[in-house]
Copies of this chain bind each other. A is one copy, B any other.
Amino acid sequence: MLSKKCQYALHALIYIVEHEDSDRLTIQEIADKKNIPKKFLEGILVDLKNAGIVGSKKGKFGGYYMMKRPESVSVLEIIRLIDGAVAMLPCVSLNFYESCGRCDDEATCRVNKLFSAVRDETLKILSGNTLADLQKVGGMGKKEAKKVLLKKASL
């Protein structure tokens, strides 16, 4: 499961992308519209800012806006930023690897093999789709959206 923090981050980002025209969005507005605790969202946006994904302006008429282009921000990078590992086992994680301590040889470990496969399939989808891609599937039906999201992922 993604943490609430990560879920909030994704929804907040999508909201920001959706409203790129209105050039400053306050924490308060995002919190209200997306039903996120304001103070909690505050910290999330700082993380996103430190990662260079959004920018901010202080003071009156300040607020947040996209820094990177939506088509260059993958969902994967948000998850890794906020939650860390995506893999279901530490010993198959690419970015947060740790030995599991149970198998003496990972190359022959059956569990390792299975969850490596799961990881690969998951990463394909999460790295292959950006905030911009999510915008596009907005109006589509379930089936069509899935097809598009998976096609994107197989590149």
Which A residues have a C-beta under 8 Å from some C-beta of B?
Answer: 1-2, 7-8, 10-11, 14, 34-36, 75, 85, 87-90, 100-103, 107-108, 110-111, 113-114, 116-118, 120-122, 125-126, 129, 134-135, 137-140, 142, 145-146, 149-150
User: How many of these chains are in the complex?
Assistant: 2
Which B residues are CB-close (under 8 A) to A121? 121-122, 125, 150
Determine if A14 and B110 form an interchain contact, defined as CB atoms under 8 angstroms apart.
yes
Assembly CA distance A149 to B102 (angstroms): 21
Cβ-closest 3 pairs across A and B: A110-B134, A113-B145, A117-B149
Determine if A35 and B101 form an interchain contact, defined as CB atoms under 8 angstroms apart.
yes
Q: Shortest CB–CB separation between residue A80 and chain B, in angstroms?
A: 13
Determine if B102 and A114 form an interchain contact, defined as CB atoms under 8 angstroms apart.
no
Which B residues are CB-close (under 8 A) to A138? 108, 110
Interface centre among A14, A88, A103, A107 (most CB of B within 10 A): A88
Determine if A7 and B108 form an interchain contact, defined as CB atoms under 8 angstroms apart.
no
* Other-chain residue from B14, B118, B129, B134 in contact with A126 (beta carbon distance below 8 A): B118
Q: Could you show 21 A-B contacts with beta carbons less than 8 Å apart?
A: A1-B88, A2-B88, A7-B100, A7-B111, A35-B101, A36-B102, A108-B138, A110-B134, A110-B138, A111-B134, A113-B140, A113-B146, A113-B149, A114-B125, A114-B137, A114-B149, A116-B146, A117-B145, A121-B121, A121-B122, A122-B122
